[in-house]
Structure 1
Amino acid sequence: MANKVIELNIDFNPESKSENSGSFSLQPLERGYGTTIGNALRRVLLTSIPGAAITHVRIDGVQHEFSTIDGVKEDVADIIMNLKKVRFKLMDNEPDKIELSLKGKTVFTAKNIQDASDQFQVLNPDEYITEINSKGKLDIELRIGIGKGYVPAEENDKPNLPVGTLSIDSIFNPVTKASFNVQPVPGAKAPIEILNLSLCTDGSITAKDAVSYSATYLRDHLMYVEAIADPSVLEISDGLSEETMALRNLLSQTIDEMELSVRSYNCLQAAGIKYIHELVNKEENQMLKYKNFGRKSLTELIEKLDSMNLQFGMQVDKIMAEEV
């Protein structure tokens, strides 16, 4: 399609003024590509963005989910059902385990979970879990993990878990709804169309970042398909040593490839750091000056870079500028 101009118009839902929901329009697209791109983006949005959820529950005196607890209103199955609804935003990329002991007349909500740890943010603190009467007691342990999409209880099951630990279904995906429709461009003579994409998130990532992450995820996979006809996309060039070219290829990757926690990823995005070479050019003390970027995020990045044989303060501008 000659002289095609792509416009991305972002319009957040005016009803909520929140960046957690938004609608996006992409135009003009050749006929059929609205559905092609819409399906691909929707699939990634609903299955491939990392998030956090409760993976295991252990309650004192309980051996299976069909039990009841004296002095507690809901049975264990209903308690687990309510725990699945709690949404998290992890502050680092590490799983967390918390213990709660509730006694006497108490309404157990997600806020009690928030109060027990500073490793995450509970996004729906008012979510009801159960109610305990004046003679009741509930000692409960929760394990919060990191993953993608929906993971059934059987896949969360691990050997050597403490006796009485129940594996539960986990919904990690931060995108709660995603849909699209395709319409013809009004008044256009050519068969071109508009893709309209709408989505909502749980608040652990903005709608805008979710769409951007999904597009990057698809692009990184399609690069290998492109290499079928154009191997130069991936191959080592004769113009540079194999080691230098390998380092350059590594530095050219986006931070998405580092599989960071949502918090660290969002901090880097807000700081305008999109590529690994931009990250390693920074000094450690520079990173701590960015908004919401703390010691735990810095430790995570140091460990991730070390696993890639990289570090902060590398000064790689010359490598990136060398002729291929």
Structure 2
Amino acid sequence: MSGEMPKIKVLEESENGEFAKLEIEPLARGFGNSLGNSLRRVLLSVLPGVAPYSVKINGVMHEFSTVPGVKEDVTDLILNIKGIIAKFEGVDKKTVLLKVNGPTNVTAGMIEQDAEFEIINKDLHIATLDEGHSLDMELTFNSGVGYVSAEQNRSFARDFGLGTIAVDSIYTPVKKVNIYVSNTRVGRFIDFDKLTIEIWTNEVLSAKEAVSLAALKLIKHYELFSSLSDLSPEISEVLQIDIPKEDIEDKSIDDMGLSVRTHNSLRRAGIQTLREIIAMPIGGISKIRNLGKKSFDELMFKLQEYGYDLPTDSSLTPFLSIKN
């Protein structure tokens, strides 16, 4: 028997990192849904973030008021404020000011910022202010996880004085997660899982950072169960999928994850499977047309991944040998 470790690939990634499409394969049957669903749940509900917590508007006593010279009523203002995306540096709570004079289109970027506090979506519309009027408000941001309603914020807080309005807090930095599980082939077998994950974030952290953080949180919780016994297998032993040697050798070069150049060189030489590669002497492989040193090294590394060791002296032992 030989083993194949699951591998993760980044299929797509946006320029700013807020979107990524990842693929993990091969996984044992059932693990695609198990891993995908647990990661999705953590990504959407447990990762920490920063959100508005309360707002105090000069001259306004409650959320059903209007502000002179402002097109939006207070309810609309609060709805816009809920959409502010921000991040902290070294603090977990911050009160900031927004003071502007009209006429102007008031945006989130006009809120005061410093080394501890940054607005990400600076162009977010907050209000439309008429000429001769001003808008003066105090906003408190907090760090947290998931979603906390205005009612919960109001009940938890002790500093909600007269005129302070509680705001719904949307802390999660992940906007959307899609998971897809499909079959993938390993040798002759097609009953393995391939997990594809699509992640969108609000740019406070990248999609790949979000997945890494979610995985770390899951690992911390799973460690509680692993501590029930003294068993401590190597992680590679846990993840490795055992496959009969003959089935690995039937693997097509199309499924080996080779670069286009290396793949094309093998195809032109009439080589279609891993079995045909390992049947060749090292010298024969190195003489394949258009298979340069870089492609040769790539192929040797790939063979080692599949459990085949290079001989210590290729001139005396010209063939690859399978690990026992």
TM-score, normalised to structure 2, is 0.67
Residue of structure 2 equivalent to 1:11: 11
Return closer, same or farther for 1:2/1:42 CA change in 2, 3 Å cut-off: farther
For 1:25 and 1:232, how far apart are their aligned partners in 2?
28
Gap change, CA 1:152 and 1:231, over 3 Å in 2: farther
* 1:168–1:2 CA distance, 2 compared to 1 (3 A): farther
Report the counterpart of residue 257 of structure 2 in structure 1. none
RMSD over aligned CA atoms reads 2.0
- Aligned twin of 1:179: 178
Aligned counterpart, 1:144 = 141
The equivalent of 2:99 in structure 1 is: 101
Quote how far apart the aligned CAs of 1:190 are.
Answer: 4.3
Q: Which residue of structure 1 aligns with residue 77 of structure 2? A: 79
Task: After TM superposition, list the pairs within 5 Å mapping 1:173-212 onto structure 2.
Answer: 173-186=172-185, 188-212=188-212
- Cross-structure match for 1:228: 228
Supply the distance in 1 between the matched residues of 2:115 and 2:168 (Cα, whole angstroms).
24
What residue in structure 2 maps to residue 26 of structure 1?
24
Give identity over the alignment, percent: 35
User: Is residue 91–residue 116 contact of structure 2 (8 Å, CA) maintained in 1?
Assistant: no
Deviation at 1:101, TM superposition (A): 2.1
Aligned length in residues: 230
The residue aligned with 1:160 is 159
Shift, 1:47, TM fit: 1.0
Decide whether the 8 Å contact of 1:48 with 1:149 is kept in 2.
yes
For structure 1, which segment, 115-124 or 73-82, has the greater mean C-alpha deviation from structure 2 after superposition?
115-124
Per-residue deviation, 1:202: 1.1
- Counterpart position of 2:128: 131
Q: 1:140 deviation in Å?
A: 0.4
Give me the whole-angstrom Cα distance separating, in 2, the residues matched to 1:54 and 1:166.
11
Could you tell me how far 1:149 is from its partner in structure 2?
1.1
Unaligned runs of 5+ in 1: 234-324
- Give, in whole Å, the separation in 2 of the partners of 1:99 and 1:17: 32
Deviation at 1:80, TM superposition (A): 0.6
C-alpha offsets along residues 250-276 of structure 1, whole Å, 9 cap, x if unaligned?
xxxxxxxxxxxxxxxxxxxxxxxxxxx
SS at match of 2:216: helix
Query: Bigger CA drift: 65-74 or 158-167?
Result: 158-167
Q: Which residue of 1 aligns with 2:48?
A: 50
**Partner-residue secondary structure (3-state), 1:129:** strand
Residue identity in the other structure for 2:43: L
CA contact (8 A) 2:53 2:169 kept: yes
1:12-52: CA deviations, max 9, x gaps? 33xx4221110111111122111111000001111111111
Q: Is the 8 A contact 1:20 1:205 kept in 2?
A: yes
Amino acid at match of 2:201: T
SS state at 2:3 partner: coil
C-alpha contact 1:12 1:18 (8 A) present in aligned 2: no
Distance 2:168 2:75 in 1: 12
SS at match of 2:204: coil
State the one-letter code of the partner of 2:142.
Answer: G
Query: For residues 56 and 70 of structure 2, what CA distance do their matches in structure 1 show?
Result: 15
1:232 deviates by: 8.5
Q: Which has the larger radius of gyration?
A: 2
Q: Shift of the alpha carbon at 1:196?
A: 0.2
User: What amino acid is the match of 2:158?
Assistant: P
Distance in 1, matches of 2:102 and 2:158, equals 35
Moved over 6 A (4+): none
Instruction: Check whether the contact 1:105–1:135 (CA below 8 A) recurs between aligned residues.
Output: yes
User: How many angstroms does 1:136 deviate by?
Assistant: 2.1
Q: Write the distance in 1 (CA, Å) between the matches of 2:11 and 2:190.
A: 26
Structure 2, unmatched stretches of 5+, are 234-324
Whichever residue aligns with residue 193 of structure 1, its letter is D
Letter in 2 for 1:203: E
Report the alpha carbon displacement of residue 104 of structure 1 after superposing the two structures with TM: 2.5
Secondary structure at the counterpart of residue 80 of structure 1: helix
Kept in 2, the 8 Å contact 1:58–1:164? The answer is yes
8 Å CA contact 1:110, 1:126 repeated in 2: yes
CA distance 1:2–1:40, change in 2 (3 Å):
farther
What does residue 273 of structure 1 align with? none
Give the secondary-structure state (helix, strand or coil) at the position aligned to 1:40.
helix
Asked if the contact 1:91/1:120 (under 8 Å) is kept, the reply is yes
The 2-side partners of 1:231 and 1:59 are apart by 59
